[in-house]
Structure 1
Amino acid sequence: MASSSSSRDAPLVLSIQSHVAFGHVGNSAAVFPLQRMGIEVVAVHTVQFSNHTGYGEFRGQVFSAAHIEEVLEGLRARDVLERVGAVLSGYQGDAGTGEVILGVVDEIRRQTPDALYLCDPVMGDVGRGIFVRPGIPEFMKRRAVPSADIITPNQFEFEYLIDRPLVDTEDALRAARKLLEAHGDRLKCVVITSLATADVDSTRLRTLAVERDAAWFVEAPRVPLSPLPNGMGDVFSAVFLGDYLQHGKIAGALGHAVATLSELIERTPQGSRDLPLIQAQSSLCTPKVSYEVQPIE
């Protein structure tokens, strides 16, 4: 058993994203997987809703940037921020909230230069289009992505970031490398999820991870659920970050996150709007399925 001092000194993950009282999206999807993987999480909510939008009507509110800054100030006063080793952000509520997030990321990096920022640039998806408030997509493209170490857009979001549709995996690889070059001072890895370009078998989904001098992809079966559960990207980003923090390998984190998400989707009852995070929690750490992580030369 670790001593209290070593436990206190263990790096924390600061997760700043949405929260729902019922269901699994945002922090309600990301915090438990990280904790189940043995990582301590400090959760700051950008919104608090009764349930996610997949259920239709909901109640609650988007928190103001001032509210989030007040919560961060309380953490600052407890010397919590100086213990943060990684920041995870997802749905942000409004662009003002995003600026607060980038401010605290800069503050953490001044204290811990090797602190990691994983930004899931939540903006929209195929079929739904853009579903966030006006100003957020522009903020993601111009401010959040250049400030991140790792980004995890889905194909729709990545195409927004590059201002054009993707043709195939090779095209996605070139576009990701171009984005890395454009933000060379900071951005180190682009992970594109739900890749369904013309070269991908229609019964499968591909996930692509691209660094400057290496790239990999993983394919998993497309599970015919209708509707698809919400929060899949939130779980993917959390598990990817958790594995990367523990092992430091992009390829390993990619394989773990894809296997976990695939297994959770496979175990989701038909018609459910949420992944079975509690019932299938063993999948978060040790998924029974695995898929080949294939390098791209």
Structure 2
Amino acid sequence: MATLAMQSLGCEVAALNTVHFSNHTGYGQFKGTKSSAQEITTLYDGLRQSYLTDFDVLLTGYAPSATAVEAVGAIAMDLKKRASKRPGSFFWVLDPVMGDQGRIYVNEDVVPAYKSLVSHADLILPNQFETELLSGIKITSLQNLADAVTVIHRTYNVPHVIVTSVQLPAPLSSSASSVISFSTADSSSVSQDARQNNTLAVFGSTMRSDRSARLFKLEVPRLDCFFSGTGDMFGALMVGRLREAVFQDAPALRETASWISPDNISATELPLAKATEKVLASMHLVLEKTMIARNEELARYQSEDDNPDSEFAQLSDEERKVAVEKRARLRTSKAAEVRLVRNVDLLKHPVVKFRAKEWNQ
């Protein structure tokens, strides 16, 4: 998901996979292995020995253990050191994959491992729960969310933050050149429980020189479907679009550490906001196409099943019921696979309909 999305925007990608699974975890079952810290390090060493580490962006996502997180961090530190004499020549996008919906789904020691790395990243992409873990603030309102983003800027000195999968009580609820990318797990899918209102919201900020937040929000219509891999798509498209927004529209930032805009640039004019508009435009269009294809595929399954229980005729009634329900769930998961390849033009040429708005606390 992430590799293709970045390649579609002209990025040359070296992908180091942190898992090797038969399918994404949204199916509820899979076969495969998780990469060890040593395997991750060895692959990077292979790139380095052949002078293949002239990357200007690093995108990192799911890491299966604390030692794997540390291995990813060591790679980031090496790339940052190599670029230290040329401000703006290297940018790290970190998705701190730890959990969602109030639940940590990685080993407990992964959380402090990420907290020790966040301060070295240029842009982080936490969901609401991960924002709470990093800031120590329970997010129940817009003010809580603003406070949490401000704490992250000031505590970790992270220049850019985008909070995804935001769900708040009514009335507002809703939830590049050379790139090295780590594949991520199915961590940022649209949650079944998140579908409470008709919009989904993303909140972002680029800090000022005093580490205060410049906040913007962007809302898009909710699509009533469960998708897997949307977090990976978001991060990957953000790599290409943010780099584009800086290099084409704000070229002076190319030689500015972490691509931080001057304090007089408003929230909605930030490269981060402009990039987010294009990213969400592409995602919404691709997911609309996916919903159409999903419905057609599910309808085809129904029309082809003349005797839907025949496959499990040898089972008892109770076993047959369980098997039929499982097959239906797996078919639904397959039908909802994001149609990225066949809609790659929508990644390249999105029609922006949803604009960022300044978020006044």
TM-score (norm 2): 0.69
Three-state SS of the structure 2 residue aligned to 1:58 is coil
- Matched-pair contact (CA < 8 Å) for 1:190–1:210: yes
| 1:14-61: CA deviation from partner (whole Å, max 9, x where unpaired) | xxxxxxxxxxxxxxx111011000111110111111111111221111
Cα displacement (A) at 1:245: 1.1
Larger-Rg structure: 2
Identity among equivalent positions (%) equals 27
* Cα offset, 1:136, TM superposition: 1.6
Q: Specify which of 90, 95, 110 is matched with residue 136 of structure 1.
A: 110
| Higher relative contact order (CA closer than 8 Å, sequence separation 6+) | 2
- 1:223 matched residue in structure 2: 223
CA distance in 2, matches of 1:74, 1:273: 36
Selected match of 2:79 from 108, 114, 125: 108
Name the SS of the counterpart of 1:87 in structure 2. Answer: strand
Q: Show the 5 A alignment for 1:196-211.
A: 196-198=167-169, 199-201=171-173, 202-211=197-206
Contact 1:62 1:93 in 2 (8 A): yes
Q: What is the CA–CA distance in structure 2 between the aligned matches of 1:204 and 1:257, rounded to whole Å?
A: 16
Report the TM-score, using the length of structure 1 for normalisation: 0.83
C-alpha deviation, 1:287, in angstroms: 1.9
> What's 1:56 paired with?
28
Alignment of 1:80-229 (within 5 A): 80-81=52-53, 83-113=54-84, 114=88, 115-126=90-101, 129-140=103-114, 142-184=115-157, 187-198=158-169, 199-201=171-173, 202-213=197-208, 214-225=214-225, 228-229=226-227
- Number of residue pairs aligned between Structure 1 and Structure 2: 262
Answer yes or no: is the 8 Å Cα contact 1:54–1:273 preserved in 2. no
- 1:259 is the counterpart of 2:243: no
Residues 119 and 144, structure 1, Cα contact 8 Å, conserved in 2? no
Distance 1:144 1:290 in 2: 35
Q: Is the 8 A contact 1:55 1:273 kept in 2?
A: no
Which residue in 2 is equivalent to 1:18? Answer: none
The farther-off stretch of 36-45 and 212-221 is 212-221
Q: Which has the higher helix share?
A: 2
Which secondary structure does the structure 1 equivalent of 2:341 belong to? coil
- How many angstroms does 1:165 deviate by? 2.4
Question: Secondary structure, in 3 states, of the residue corresponding to 2:62?
Answer: coil
Residue 138 of structure 1 aligns to which amino acid in structure 2?
Answer: P
Point out where structure 2 has 5 or more consecutive residues left out of the alignment.
Answer: 174-196, 209-213, 247-270, 296-331
> Which whole-Å deviations, capped at 9, do the CAs of 1:195-252 have from their partners, x for residues lacking one?
1212425211110111224221110011111xx1111111001111111112221111
The within-5 A match list for 1:57-76 is: 57-76=29-48
Q: Which has the higher strand share?
A: 1
**Greater shift in the superposed pair: 192-201 or 249-258:** 192-201
| Alignment partner, residue 347 of structure 2 | 284
TM superposition shift of 1:296: 2.3
C-alpha displacement at 1:88, in angstroms? 0.5
State the alpha-carbon separation in 1 of the partners of residues 342 and 105 from structure 2: 29
Aligned to 1:43: 15
Three-state SS of the structure 1 residue aligned to 2:19 is: strand
Structure 1 gap segments, 5+ residues each = 1-28
CA positional deviation for 1:288: 3.0
- Please tell me the residue identity of whatever aligns with 1:145: V
Once residues 359 and 136 of structure 2 are traced to their aligned partners in structure 1, the CA distance between those partners, rounded to angstroms, is 24
Task: Give the residue type in structure 1 aligned to 2:2.
Answer: A
Secondary structure, counterpart of 1:167 in structure 2: coil
For residues 72-129 of structure 1, the C-alpha deviation after alignment (integer angstroms, 9 at most, x for no partner) is 1110011111x110110001111111111111111111111331111111122227x2
